[in-house]
Every structure is written in structure tokens, then in C-alpha cells.
Chain A
């Protein structure tokens, strides 16, 4: 019987050595040391040998079992190491091939600038207000100190829907609505679409504007200059200075036009600034007390300032877009650049 056992060990050794996969080893394991294995069948024969030999026999059987299981374990480890080596050798890639990307979408450059403007002003404590595009004459003209016979009404070619109903020519209409509804302090910007009946290389019949209004006790011209200065520097860079030039707007007094140093030549003079070194950015001024009176705000107690800037123009300057028409052509090759 001992010989038979050592013979089993011998064949097991050989077969384990020959095995080439973990799966094979599992089969060998159940064949040699599992419940229905050869060695177990010897165990059942233990009753056939003399009592005094039984312990020795048991020992031999156990030892053989241990030896086989150790052989199996060693072999399994060697196979796994080999598999690992193979993995390293076979799994190679051309790492220079392109990665899987999502297709890139894009925000319109006007939106990008629009959001940036909102964020800068929100960071300075402004809120964003909205109003209708289709307006009445009161909000677009009368409330802004431009009575019917006022020459300022000729300044803009207005689209009309009805006798009294029009497409707003500026977003100051929103300021009027806010002043009608809210008590000071007011600190808002109102970005939005505006319309004027003119269409050429530098004018679009629909364009985008942002207007600001601040009304409180003790609001000064300095506040106006400070806010605009900070805005312009945040938008165009530290180097860009601004200046105020006296001008006329019906709803502000004093009124000014805002110029900034040319973003292309930094003041030296170029084709963008037509040699002047300055670019016109928009209008500003202190709210005319008449406007407060029309809207029932105590003009003795409160002061305020307002200004308006062209969003499309800022986008064109910022992204160096040469032609306004490109903004509304919606060529994907254009849109994906931003």
C-alpha cells in the first residue's frame, strides 16, 4: 500500500508539473486530494490493515496530501507569474493614437461676453433685471425724460408694432420698470436685446446692450467712474484706461460718453480706432432729477447714476471680430472658435 501511495505521489508530481493553467490545477486538485480523490480512497481502506500500523499509515497519507497540495500551490503561483509576464508582453498600444473625446460644442461669443459682464457686476453687488422687448412709449421715451415733441426721439429709428407700442431701442426701459416697482436702494444691470431700424456694415437692426442703474442716498459721480473703471479693467485688462467726454442724453445730467484706450494699439493710433487711440464704449451720467420725479422717487433724497454699454461691441473688441455681421450668421466654423 505504501508503494501505491508513493506511486500516486509520483504521477501527481508529473501531472502538476505538466499543467499549464489554473483550471487544470483545480481538476488535479480534486482528482488527488478532493473528496472523491485517490488518496481518500486509501483512507477508506484503513480498516483493512493491522491496528498497530494504522497511525503510521495515516501519517504517510497526510504527509502525501500535504506534499501534493504544496506542489499545487507552488505551480499555481508560477502559472500566475507567467500569465502576468505574458500580459505585460502582449498588452501594448500605440499610445500616440488619439483619445476618445466628446464632440466640442460652444457658447456664442455674445453669450460668453454677456455672462462675463454679468459676473463682473454681480461681484460688485449688482443684480440682474429683465424686461420685455416689446415696450410702450412711456417706458422707452416719456419716463426717460424724452417727451413726444422732444428732438431726441428722432435720434433713433424705432420699429413700431402699434401707435404706442414699439421694440425697445435701449434696455433703459428695464430701469424704468425696476424704479416703478422697487424702492431704493437699487443696484442693477439689465442686459438684453434692443432694436433700431438701421442695417449696414456697422449696425445690426437687433443688437445687445447692458445698462446699469444705481439709486441710493449719496450716490456720486465718483461711484460711477469707479464702477466703470473697474469693469473696463476686468473686461479688457489692467492696461486699459477710460475717460469721460461730455455729451447729451435726455435722461442723465451731467451726461458723458465713455472712451477706452484702443485695445489694439494701446493709444498709438490704428485702423480700429481710426487713428485716435481711443474707442467709444457707451454712454453714462447721473440720473436726471426729472426722471426721478416722473417715477415718484424723491429726487431731493436720492441720487443715482446710469450707463449703457454695447455687448456685441465688447465681444467684437474682446475676440477681435472684424465684422458685426459674423455675429448673426451662425457659421459653425465661427461659433466653435470661442
Chain B
């Protein structure tokens, strides 16, 4: 629903800018979905005066005018019959834009026109299109039309939640604003003067469906004059996006938008039998509506009928057969309420949504019907003349009783942890229209206003108090402790889970170590792992230090298990290692060590068993590093003394060695009576967490253009390694070569010694277009040229 700044200000005298008001509305609990500055378009239009007019030589109905907009005099061609010299008019100069329509310099039958003299319809002010808009003589030349017509305003599009139908009118929104600003709410004074003639003598009301129509009121006015609405009324309607039509229709719309309760006006003289019957439609009854459609109804639909025919689809749309026209002089004002579920069903079934059905569907109050009826009569008498008949017809079989709700101030305080006095509670609730009824010990009783059906329980009142007090004015106490690093905490677990998923079993050994292991592993005397924390009172020499490596214990676990009949072993340990030199306590660092030996996979009928090799090990390491989010890590030949030369690498990250992996030198394994090849991993987890900030992944746009695959197969000297080759390939066109995957490696008797055959699969794509075959072939040729010049390859 829309409300406007100026209209709201009629009821609450706030001293806020539209932007400040928006914030207040939002924190009153009404979501502002959009905010629009009005009149900006009309401010391109100037008040101008026609200073001369002559007939267009080439046309019967066009005339050539000159208009003065206070700045310059322009020639304009005008086709309107009502344009005359001396008139003040709305002049839209070249370069302006009205809606989708851009004003340009044009030539009309040989005469140039530098702008446009506009009708009200062209300006979006009303539906009037016969003739140009003529302004009063005192309109100041040169003023912007928007300001002159007082159409400068700000409109707020509000999202009204279904529990608050009372906010479906500008006055209702103003009530909440007045409450939140603690400013008085100015209620329009409604006084109506009736004549002596009684309505009962002119019209009969018969409510045959009180279950669907809990209340129906009708008032009658005779002798009105249908005409244009005054400026203030038009401004209100325009400001919330409605088009003015005529005074009576405008008033019913205005009152609906003011109080959120729809009404309808019938032309009395079109009501057959002078009788209004509220009844269910007959099966297949036809109803010709205002929207020029004819609807087929059934017994579930409610109609307002006269003695002969339906004249309105209750609460949804009026009839084509009874609406207000220029000739109307006597009218009946309907203000009623209908069962919301019935309105929703009928409107849904017939696919009609009107401002009226939208409101009735939301269960508005019966009581407001009389208010809007009197308000509409007041305005009609004022703006359309006529006389109001005495009394009203009113079918209201079950008036809603008083609704009282009690509230414990102690409950308010404990639930909201705010300190609030009873007086303040009363003040807040009074501002929302609740009336205070009495006070006992820790118990305040209020009567609910009819328009707030949503207030039924104590907690509903507490919510209202909270809303006005301000949610964000409630103190908060808790802060995160920030003692644990959640990312590292989860990373520790993730690393273990990856190893388990690769078939590793976790072991836990005592953190005591045997210095002899360091000798067996050929750790040099100046290695930092020799700076041991030694126990003064150990259990024995083989437990006399705190271990500085985890791998020796994994060896002992392996031997234990081999001795117990296991041959294929995958184990890991994640634990601290300790060194101590000059530090007071010690340096403790979390390591992950893993060991694999034997066959990679268990016996399976569909596969051959395969011995573990270096690349099985490397895959595990890569999996872990990738999952930790490391990029640009590297593998370089390892200098660790216990690996078999040439079969081990260090893991390099940010120029530091953060781990190693490889096949253990048989010279070392034999010292532990291990005869089968042993592969180990050692990762310095703490060092990695120190160097690497774990970041939350951020979404990247999924490529729009297709990928294209090409294979490349060649024979190359073994002295060139994969890393080199692959970066050479990628380097040829890093933008379009998205990925290079090693597909195959082999050597056989047809290939020279010291040479091997490699096959790569290249993935091509572009971020901006679909790559053509020619384009890709060209890149591929460049790749081949580059490889050949660098490595002298032989294509296969």
C-alpha cells in the first residue's frame, strides 16, 4: 500500500524529512519497500502563457502558437480546440520526458514545434484528454508545474503484514507514527447535517446473508452535482498513485484510502424497486461489472442486488448497471463489511483484485463502516452539494462486544529486560488507541479498539510496548569469548576425517620418545629435532625425551601389526612434537604423520591388487592441502636423511618447508625389522595454520561458454619434468587454456631410452565468447611450437 508524506502530515505534525520519516516507519514495524519522489517529472513542465495564435496554413485543426515560459518565447504547434491567446498553460519544452515519451523538436506539416502544450492526461494528472490543461490566470509564468500544483511529495510503498489491516489506510499508518513519535494524532472532525426526509421512505435494506455480511449500512444523498474534484483531493489521490475521476468517485476512494475501509456509491435512480438486497448469487447468475467484463456467479458468491438484478459483487467490484455517471444526481452510499474468507474465495475464483477486495480479504472491522459512511457523506455534501436524508439503513445483527485484555507489568519487565513504569505502559498503549480500564496489583486492563482485532492476549500487548520502546533499545550482555579459533578447530578434525576416508586408522602413542630413534632415522646432531625436552625422572631410557618426531612410533606400530598378521597397513597420528633449547618451557607443534605399506587396496574380485607407490602418498597430501584451501604449494626434492634418495619430496608453502613425504630408505626400515617398502607423510600442521589464513570461499560466476577438449600426445626427454611442461603449455595462452590434465605416461621399446610419451588433455574456454575450431587449432599449434622449441618434442 502507498502513503504519502504530505497526506500523513495532515494527521501528525511531525518535523522530519521524508528520509527520517522512512526510518521511523520502518522501526514502527512497517516495512518500507520503496520510496518515490513525486512531481519531479512535472517539474520539467513550466507554467507559460500563449502570446499569439494563428491558423496553421497546411491544416484545418492545427494552430501555430507562441508561448512565453518567462525565459524565452517558443513556437509550438497545437491541435487542441480550446487553446486561446492569453491562457496560462502547461508547457513541456524539448528534451523533457513524460513517462516513456520524450519531447523532441518536430516539424508538423512544414512548421516547427519546440515543445508541447499538454492535456491533464498527458501530464498524468487525470483522465481528461479533451483539450489542453488551462491554468488559472494568476499562475506565475515560469514556475515548475509540480510545485505550482503542489504535487511535490514523497510516496512510500509499504508492506502491510496480514495481521494489521488497520494499516491499510493513511490514517492508520499515521496513528502508529504518532505513537512512535509520541505526537498527538489529529482525527478529522466528521459532522454531517441531515434533512428531514427519512431514508426509510426512499430505500429498503434486506440482508439475506448475515453470515457473509456481518454489517451493511446505507446512506442517501439527493441532488448532487458530479464535477471535477478540488485540487487538494486530486493531489491526495495522485500522491498514492490513484487517478482522479470525479468528485463522488474520488471521495469514496479518498475515504477508503484514509481509513482503510472501502465504500461504494450507487446511482439511486438505477436501483430497481428502491430496494437493496444482500444475498447469495443464484447459480450461473450473470453480473456485468464496472471493468466491462461479465462474470458468471454461483451460490458461494455474495452480491448486492436490487429488486431485479445484482448491482455489485459484494466488496469486490461495482456493477456497470448502477455506477455513478455525469448525470447522476441521487446516490446511495454503501459502507459494509463482508466475511473475509468469502471475499477471498470469490475474488480468487474470478481473478479480480481491487483496492476494495484487497482490504475486505484482510478481515477489517465492522465498526469502521459507520465512520467511513459519515466521512464520505460529509465530503460529498461539501464538494458535490445535495441533501443528506435523515438516518441510515443498518443491518448489524451481531455487534462486536467490548474486548478487554489484561497485562502484568512485571511480565513486561521480565520478558523484555527493560525497566518501564506503569504510566509509560499506559501511555504507549493509549497512543495506539487502547483505552485504559483499570488497575489492580500487577495487573492493568485495557479495552481494545475495534480496528485492532490482532490484539487478543497479554503477549500481543507486550509486543506493542516493545515496538514503541524500540527493539534496539533493549540492552544486550553476551559477547563471544573468542578463545577458540573455530576454523582451526574444524580443520584439525577435517584432516583426520580425510585420512580416515582414505582408509587410514588413527593411532595414539605416548608422547614420550626414545633418543635412539633419532639415531636410527639418521637425524643429524645439529638438526633441531635433537633439541629435546628430557625428562629428569623418566620411566626408562626409551621414554626419556618428549618426542620430536612421530614417525618412529608409527614404525613400531607397524611392526606390532605385521607381527600380528597384518601386511597392508595405513595408520596416522596427529599429535604435538616437542623441542626445547633456550626456551623456558618448550616449543610444541602439532604434526600429522601417516604411514602406508603393502597393497593400496583390499582384495576385490573386480580389481587387481596394487602395491602402494609414491603417487598414492602424494595424492593424500594434495587432498589434505586442497581441503585446507592452500593454493600454490609445491613439491621439491627432500633433504630429509631417512628417505630413499630421489623418492621423496618436501612440501613447500610460502617458501617454507611445511612437510615431507616419500619412501623411507630401506637402510632405515631394516633397523626396525621392517622388510617391506614403507611410505610416510609428515605435515607440520601448526606451521601451515601459521602461514595460511583459512578463508571462506566466495562464489565465482559459472562460465557461460562451453568447454572444448583437445588431446596432445608427444615423446619427450625424461630430463624434463611434468611441472615444467605443464606450465609451459599453460603459459602459451593462460586466458583460454583453462586446465591441462596429464592423461597418460608410458615408455616402450619403440620409444628411445631416456624418453617417454606423455598425453595431455587440454580444456579450452573463454570468459567472453564461444571459441571456434580455428581459434583453438591456432592455440594448439602455438603450444606445439613452444614445446618443440623448448624441449624438441616428437608429436605422436
Q: Which residues of A contact B (CB under 8 A)?
A: 97-98, 100, 102-108, 110-111, 115, 127-129, 132-136, 159-162, 165, 167, 178, 182, 185-188, 193, 195, 197, 199, 204-206, 327-333, 335-336
Determine whether the beta carbon of B585 is less than 8 Å from that of A134: yes
Determine whether the beta carbon of A105 is less than 8 Å from that of B539: no
CB of B679 closer than 8 Å to a CB of A: no
Determine whether the beta carbon of A332 is less than 8 Å from that of B505: yes
Inside 8 A of B350's CB, which chain A residues have their CB? Answer: none
Inside 8 A of A328's CB, which chain B residues have their CB? Answer: 508-510
Determine whether the beta carbon of A161 is less than 8 Å from that of B481: no
Inside 8 A of B535's CB, which chain A residues have their CB? Answer: 159-161, 167
User: Would A106 and B536 be within 8 Å (CB), given that A206-B512, A332-B566 are in contact?
Assistant: no
Q: Which residue of B489, B496, B512, B604 contacts A111 across the interface (Cβ within 8 Å)?
A: B496
Report B8-20 CB contacts with A as 1/0, cut-off 8 Å.
0000000000000
User: Would A133 and B578 be within 8 Å (CB), given that A185-B481, A197-B537, A328-B509 are in contact?
Assistant: yes
Complex-state Cα separation, A186 to B604, whole angstroms: 54
CB of B507 closer than 8 Å to a CB of A: yes
Complex-state Cα separation, A333 to B483, whole angstroms: 38
Complex-state Cα separation, A18 to B1, whole angstroms: 76
Determine whether the beta carbon of A110 is less than 8 Å from that of B508: yes
| List of 10 A-B pairs having minimum Cβ-Cβ separation, nearest first | A103-B503, A105-B500, A330-B507, A134-B586, A108-B506, A335-B505, A127-B484, A160-B536, A330-B557, A105-B504
Inside 8 A of A193's CB, which chain B residues have their CB? Answer: 511
Inside 8 A of B584's CB, which chain A residues have their CB? Answer: 136, 165
* A-B CB contact pairs (8 Å), 9 listed: A97-B605, A115-B493, A161-B535, A182-B481, A186-B481, A328-B508, A330-B557, A333-B566, A335-B507
Q: Which residues of B contact A (CB under 8 A)?
A: 478, 481, 483-484, 489, 493, 496, 499-512, 533-539, 543, 546, 557, 560-561, 564, 566, 569-571, 576, 578, 580, 584-586, 588, 601-602, 604-607
Closest B residue to A158 by beta carbon equals: B537
Determine whether the beta carbon of A327 is less than 8 Å from that of B539: no
Known pairs A187-B481, A188-B481 / 14 extra A-B pairs, C-beta < 8 Å? A100-B604, A102-B503, A103-B602, A105-B506, A110-B508, A134-B580, A135-B585, A160-B536, A161-B546, A165-B584, A197-B539, A206-B512, A332-B566, A332-B569
Complex-state Cα separation, A97 to B539, whole angstroms: 52
Determine whether the beta carbon of B503 is less than 8 Å from that of A205: no
How many Å from the CB of B112 to the closest CB on chain A? 65
Determine whether the beta carbon of A105 is less than 8 Å from that of B503: yes
Complex-state Cα separation, A197 to B535, whole angstroms: 11
Q: Which residue of B506, B510, B538 contacts A335 across the interface (Cβ within 8 Å)?
A: B506
Complex-state Cα separation, A249 to B580, whole angstroms: 32
Inside 8 A of A195's CB, which chain B residues have their CB? Answer: 511
Q: Which residue of B501, B510, B534 contacts A105 across the interface (Cβ within 8 Å)?
A: B501
Determine whether the beta carbon of B509 is less than 8 Å from that of A330: yes
Closest B residue to A107 by beta carbon equals: B506
Determine whether the beta carbon of B499 is less than 8 Å from that of A105: yes
Inside 8 A of A105's CB, which chain B residues have their CB? Answer: 499-506, 570
User: Would A108 and B507 be within 8 Å (CB), given that A134-B586, A187-B481, A331-B564 are in contact?
Assistant: yes
Determine whether the beta carbon of A132 is less than 8 Å from that of B483: no
Q: Which residue of A102, A129, A205, A329 contacts B539 across the interface (Cβ within 8 Å)?
A: A205
Inside 8 A of A336's CB, which chain B residues have their CB? Answer: 505
User: Would A108 and B537 be within 8 Å (CB), given that A98-B605, A127-B481, A127-B483 are in contact?
Assistant: no
Closest A residue to B557 by beta carbon equals: A330
Closest B residue to A204 by beta carbon equals: B510
Determine whether the beta carbon of B538 is less than 8 Å from that of A159: yes
Max chain B C-beta neighbours (<10 A), residue from A102, A127, A134, A331: A134
Complex-state Cα separation, A180 to B750, whole angstroms: 72
Closest A residue to B534 by beta carbon equals: A161
Inside 8 A of B481's CB, which chain A residues have their CB? Answer: 127, 182, 185-188
Closest A residue to B493 by beta carbon equals: A115
Determine whether the beta carbon of A161 is less than 8 Å from that of B533: yes
How many Å from the CB of B533 to the closest CB on chain A? 5
Q: Which residue of A111, A197, A333 contacts B506 across the interface (Cβ within 8 Å)?
A: A111
Inside 8 A of A160's CB, which chain B residues have their CB? Answer: 535-537
How many Å from the CB of B531 to the closest CB on chain A? 13
Inside 8 A of A162's CB, which chain B residues have their CB? Answer: 536
Determine whether the beta carbon of A332 is less than 8 Å from that of B561: yes
How many Å from the CB of A29 to the closest CB on chain B? 28
Closest B residue to A135 by beta carbon equals: B585
How many Å from the CB of B546 to the closest CB on chain A? 7
Determine whether the beta carbon of B586 is less than 8 Å from that of A161: yes
Complex-state Cα separation, A187 to B482, whole angstroms: 11
Complex-state Cα separation, A197 to B538, whole angstroms: 8
Closest A residue to B602 by beta carbon equals: A103
Complex-state Cα separation, A197 to B578, whole angstroms: 19
Determine whether the beta carbon of A331 is less than 8 Å from that of B484: no
Complex-state Cα separation, A327 to B557, whole angstroms: 12
Inside 8 A of A206's CB, which chain B residues have their CB? Answer: 510-512
